[in-house]
Amino acid sequence: MKHLLSTAGLAREDAITILDTAAQMATTQSREIKKLPTLRGRTVVNLFFEDSTRTRISFETAAKRLSADVINFSAKGSSVSKGESLKDTALTLQAMGADAVVCRHQASGAPHLLAHAGWLDSAVVNAGDGTHQHPTQALLDAYTMRRHLAGPPGSGPDDAAALGADLAGRRVAIVGDVLHSRVARSNVHLLHTLGAEVTLVAPPTLLPVGVESWPCEVSYHLDESLREGAPDAIMMLRVQRERMSGAGAGAFFPNPLEYTRKYGLDGRRLALLPEHAIVMHPGPMNRGLEISAEAADSPRAVIVEQVANGVAVRMAVLYLLLSGRDAPGAPDPSEGSVLA
Amino acid sequence: MNPGAAVPSTPNVPGPSGRPETVVLGDADVARALTRIAHEIVERNKGAADVVLLGIPTRGVPLARRLAQRLASVVGSDHQALVGELDVTMYRDDLRRNPTRPVGATHLPPSGIDDKVVVLVDDVLFSGRTIRAALDAISDLGRPRAVQLAVLVDRGHRELPIRPDYVGKNLPTSAEERVSVRLAELDGTGDSVTIRGGGPR
């Protein structure tokens, strides 16, 4: 594995290796001394062209827990605001000797360009590009689901049963603004690879053209999906109003109240879910729009745990990309398998 | 290649790779060596009250469990509370020279390792680099009163100033030879320690 750019095309074995490694990383994070010497002397650059709190902090924490040096680069206050191109930024990072570049960009495909244009020798991790992919978010979602759903229904988190397991036969509903969501795209592909049955639930206006070719079911009715689909996990997506044109909600739905009534998760819909089902949200939440405070704060919500698991998953990704003979800057570089 | 005087002249059997293997220790030899090491641990530490055995994956883990059972039968305590496993992958100094290694699990006994006598258990002691990594891993987990080292086979060629406290068998080898340990728990065969020549014979 040289780069992590997309979950489409990520092999089942590679995905399970990442999740199992994340499980071992997670156990080290309950210790008094959380720092491991594994990536001592390596440099990880967080290259963020788009605003982010939890993803950047999560990657920064993960890299620091593995003893790597972290350089944070955000487009605001850098030469990018003077008009520097992605290529020149990449060449600068190459000259400074970055071993891994974690890239978030508002344009779909920017991390792919960084990885394959020949500007950089480093490993590239996609931390969200446009409306395309956000692979580490999908991996941490899959990790969280596997932890909670690997054992018999209702048994709670079970790390021993989760090790080496996939999500075969588990039903996952992804609800909300699929159109603008890279999280949904990454999750659909990864969860399908891991054997889960995914249903997207959204108003027709918030589904992208071509969704019928994705490996999942599509529904327009949340109540029906909850009653008949009996999902093991429900993932609420943020309504990305900053990506919607015009004031307020733009033209995608009549008004926020109607959206909440038809697609919001509240206490009543929570009661429709099976006993063991977990409630997920990639954050940041619009409380009162796609999820009510009652649902977000219920004991079945694993939203805070998702954030903690994000650090372990990103530690695993950085470890797998930066250790080993095929890693960038290793003494004996040879042709390795290239993902994506 | 001449196996040398230290290697008993046991029959050569074809190994999995087809190259002849010399069996150095068999089932009974491994059992006797572990029993002796268990008694030495009790003798050296004047009992086993504060002893914690930490096996280093992969084959150090079942060896540590067997040692714990023997130790428990000598001093009459619960063997589960004596034993743990210590993964050292993330402390290794050769991560970039080898293909990516899977990260293993670390389990400590419920009592922890603070102020205990930790006995590290591994199958083969060679360069000493794994033990160096284990010592670093231990210092991140707690502060034991002392750390000791038990190995089934010491084959020499140390690259670091590390010396075992308990040795099943000293096995002089050349650097090209390969020493393999097979254990019933992991390999589905009987226990054996075999040595295989590196160069053509």
Q: How far is B48 from chain A (nearest CA, A)?
A: 26
pTM of the complete model: 0.90
- Whether B162 maps to a domain, the answer reads yes
Question: Which single residue is written with the structure tokens 């659909």?
Answer: A188
CA distance A221 to B91: 51
> With 80 as the cut, is the pLDDT of residue B64 above it?
yes
- A84-134 pLDDT per residue, tens: 899 999 999 999 899 999 999 999 999 999 999 999 999 999 999 999 999
Nearest chain B residue to A24 by CA distance is B105
B143 touches A: beta carbon within 8 Å: no
As for how many domains chain B has, the answer is: 1
Q: How far is A314 from chain B (nearest CA, A)?
A: 14
Full 3-state SS string of A167-222:
CCCCEEEEECCCCCCHHHHHHHHHHHHCCCEEEEECCHHHCCCCHHHCCCEEECCH
- Whether B183 maps to a domain, the answer reads no
CATH number of the domain at B118, please. Answer: 3.40.50.2020
> With 70 as the cut, is the pLDDT of residue A5 above it?
yes
Taking residues B49-76, report their average pLDDT: 94
Of A179, A185, A238, A181, nearest to A206 by C-alpha is A179
Distance set, CA B10 to CA A125, B3, B26, B28, B192 (Å): 54, 11, 10, 14, 12
- Whether B140 maps to a domain, the answer reads yes
3-state helix, strand and coil shares in percent for chain B, rounded to the nearest 5: 30, 25, 45
Measured between CB atoms, which of B87, B95, B106 is closest to A324? B95
Residue range A12-133+307-322 forms a domain whose CATH class is alpha beta
Do B96 and A20 make contact, defined as CB atoms within 8 angstroms?
no
The DSSP code for B97 is T
- Whether B38 maps to a domain, the answer reads yes
From-to residues of CATH 3.40.50.1370 in chain A: 12-133+307-322, 135-305
Measured between CB atoms, which of B90, B102, B140 is closest to A33? B140
Do B141 and A31 make contact, defined as CB atoms within 8 angstroms?
yes
- Whether B89 maps to a domain, the answer reads yes
Do A21 and B91 make contact, defined as CB atoms within 8 angstroms?
no
Do B103 and A24 make contact, defined as CB atoms within 8 angstroms?
yes
Taking residues B88-111, report their average pLDDT: 91
CA distance B145 to B148: 10
- The pLDDT assigned to B96 comes to 87
- The pLDDT assigned to A152 comes to 83
- A43-82 pLDDT per residue, tens: 999 999 998 888 999 999 999 999 999 999 888 777 777 7
> Helices marked H in B9-54 — which ranges?
27-44
Measured between CB atoms, which of A1, A38, A324 is closest to B90? A38
Do A324 and B90 make contact, defined as CB atoms within 8 angstroms?
no
C-alpha angle A36-A99-B133 in degrees, rounded to nearest 5: 30
In Å, how far from its chain's centre is CA A228? 27
- Whether B95 maps to a domain, the answer reads yes
Cβ-contact A325, B97 below 8 angstroms: yes
Measured between CB atoms, which of A31, A324, A332 is closest to B100? A324
Run of H or E including A54: helix A54-65
Question: Which single residue is written with the structure tokens 């596997």?
Answer: A146
Of B162, B99, B105, B109, nearest to B133 by C-alpha is B162
Burial A170-191 (b: 16+ CB within 10 A, else e): bbbbbbbbbbbbbbbbbbbbbb
- A171-210 pLDDT per residue, tens: 999 999 999 999 999 999 999 999 999 999 999 999 999 9
Q: Which residues pair with A198 in a beta bridge?
A: A172
Residue range A135-305 forms a domain whose CATH class is alpha beta
Contacts of B95 in chain A (CB under 8 A): 38, 323-324
Give the range of the structural domain holding residue B80, as residue numbers without chain letter: 29-173
